[in-house]
Chain A
């Protein structure tokens, strides 16, 4: 648990931080339902490269998104060391494939900086803001659009 708290400065929230490659990201802890190890997924035909397929999560069919690929980073070849974060976004449940879950962060809202202009459009649509913890840069990402664009592309 890491705290990044600016006392007396408004809203606080808890985040889960995870690694993809050498970058660190985080999402709101309330969106994460569970974290589990990688199990081989059943590939789906005609889906974008970041769709890893579907797995059986206690009887439910759970789509797995390679979050790195979705963000425009390298496509991941999953191994047993990889982790699936099961998240709920807009009433749907999906799994996010990431390298590892690294931390739980307590964060005060005003420490988040807006995403600088350098970022490309694809990154900007997911990264809500940046903040620093112990010299590390962490990107706060929003999951609303992770599956939404799939539909737009498919339509």
Chain B
């Protein structure tokens, strides 16, 4: 890859981390945390984004980040009070900032009106004259040396300081720029490949000069002594300050043929001088001072003596800091001196990592982990097969082979758990996208919402995480759009104007539970019922419990929004959410209290790879029922089985009647049900709390099984969640208990395709 591109990529990776930090800080600020450390952290993050953006000439981003940064600066210098309004504006501005970063990365465009609107709001906060439109002078000192120090990683570290010294005259040579002309700083470091391809740096420079007046500085610090000089190496690098009316594309065109064979950076240093003048109010320009102190000690800066002392103290401190590049050192020291006003002009170091990772980690291709997981899955199957063979061979349980196998089983489990732990990740990555979504939906609906998130550290398998975003997004939208009332409506019922939405993740019984709770109006049961009747989903006289009414909203084709709103009524209903959750082997349920709000509860397996199951036999087929759904199992007595309306069987379990579903018949493996009083009934609880008894011929035992997708090579089958491979090497189907209980019970025997295959 082009080294410049890879640096850019690193920058965007860093950006993601910085933005995450910034958002967390902003959220804390919104929650009333006006701690200077929090504000500083956000400031640093935004500043680093801006600095990096400067190095890559990302104009839009710089401009936006600059205004943002100015506000943060006002806040931390306590020139501006952190009000709720400021925090909210900053949060919305943050969203646009994130968009700018994304646009810069993916080459898109941020909606101009949106960006400008927020910019206007931010400027209004600062006060009209508080901010210059263009980057202020510390900008240049902020990003240019950073680039150099990155360069320094590839080459020798020395050129940095030389560049640094060379900067000041270059700037001063620029003031003859006309108004429309822009000043570009071009760093051009050819590699030997460029010369190999018969390109010549001189020609490139001459070509550049055609665009406008140039100021070319050569950096020959890499040139070795003559006896070490290799004729085919490239040693020289140039810094060109170009004043031109041409745009960046035109400048890049000059480098068209050499771009791949050189390290090139083109940055716009627009109106430095105007900005420099405007920044007179800035207490002191540390970077400029430093440059002058280093480059031209004779020219004493017109600054108070007090400041000078500070600067030299800082330089002294900087020299104590071990840094790879000397130019980076003063910057590394700068944040340490945060309380002095001088640091306003001092950018944090480019690679400032505010929260260094406490533990060593490695990045591994997900593919490799998946391969490992698959292999371990095979190991589990093979191990099960082996123990079955050993049992069949009649070896005593106390024999060495059997004992060894037991150890092997323990070990296998342990390996499996460890491998699964590799893929486990905190749900934070999903949760952190939600505040923004909530803000946007709140804006669109004109409601005021506070999102409270808990349990972000809850860990779950990566494959589950990836597929959590959509359902959570949908449920949150739903909670705000349908659940919460408008501030006026809330005032009428004596609720605080700001609605509360709670997003929570927790582990419960080997599953991850995600709750989305709002304090809105709750489900309007008569209306839900009315709609369900209107749409023919239930019959008018059907008796339903409150819970069952609530669960009607999960039926396909059900949407209570009177008008299709832009937010949640996209024709995608809760049934889609439920289906995607079911696809993950999860369940979703709802509980609601009129006037007080509703709560959606998602329960998902921690991993999609293994499942604890009960192995049963029905119609000569071996099937697996997920243990998580099973409440108990019992042997039904003939007198406990009754028939409602002559055909639908129910079984009395203690004092309740639950439907009795003959699995063999329900799946179409057999036409005639099991004879009364034989077989085993497994009491299962479906999502939404509905219970049913599954009638099978026998229970073989309990086993952990590796889930194999049917969809990979075939398709989903109703009533079957997935497949697995049992100890004998044969494929067994894993029952989709919810589908069996709901769909099949409601549509009995009306299936055209009743015969079973084979």
Contact = CB atoms under 8 A, between A and B. Distances in A.
Nearest to A59: B378
Interface in B368-415: 374, 377-378, 381
A43 B712 contact: no
Nearest to B382: A59
A113 interface: no
A61 B717 contact: no
Interface in A53-70: 53-56, 59-63
B731 A42 contact: yes
B667 A92 contact: no
Contact of B757 (A43, A61, A62, A93): A43
A134 interface: no
B377 A49 contact: no
Interface string B616-642: 000001100000000000000000000
B720 interface: yes
A54 B723 contact: yes
A48 B755 CA distance: 8
Interface residues of B, number: 34
A41 B758 CA distance: 8
Interface in A18-74: 40-56, 59-63
A40 B728 CA distance: 12
B714 A43 contact: no
A147 B712 CA distance: 12
Contacts of B622: 42
B757 A53 contact: yes
B753 to A, nearest CB: 5
B753 A56 contact: no
Main SS class of interface, B: loop
A44 B757 contact: yes
B668 A154 contact: no
A94 B713 contact: yes
A117 interface: no
Contacts, number: 98
B506 to A, nearest CB: 33
Contacts of A41: 731, 758
B13 to A, nearest CB: 31
Nearest to B666: A45
A151 interface: yes
B717 A45 contact: yes
Interface string B708-740: 111011110111100101000111110000000
Nearest to B706: A59
Contact of B731 (A45, A61, A94, A154): A61
Contact of B719 (A45, A54, A92): A45
Contacts of B755: 49
A133 interface: no
Given A49-B755, A94-B714, A56 B733 contact: no
B746 interface: no
A47 B374 contact: no
A150 interface: yes
Nearest to B758: A43
Nearest to B754: A46
B723 to A, nearest CB: 5
Interface of B: 374, 377-378, 381, 621-622, 667-669, 708-710, 712-715, 717-720, 723, 725, 729-733, 751, 753-758
**CB-CB nearest 9 A-B residue pairs:** A45-B667, A43-B758, A63-B714, A42-B731, A61-B708, A51-B757, A61-B723, A43-B757, A54-B731
Given A61-B723, A154-B715, 14 more contacts: A40-B730, A44-B717, A45-B669, A45-B717, A46-B718, A53-B731, A54-B723, A56-B725, A56-B729, A59-B374, A60-B712, A61-B712, A92-B714, A94-B714
13 contacts: A42-B621, A42-B733, A44-B757, A52-B758, A55-B731, A56-B725, A56-B730, A56-B731, A59-B374, A60-B708, A61-B713, A61-B731, A147-B715
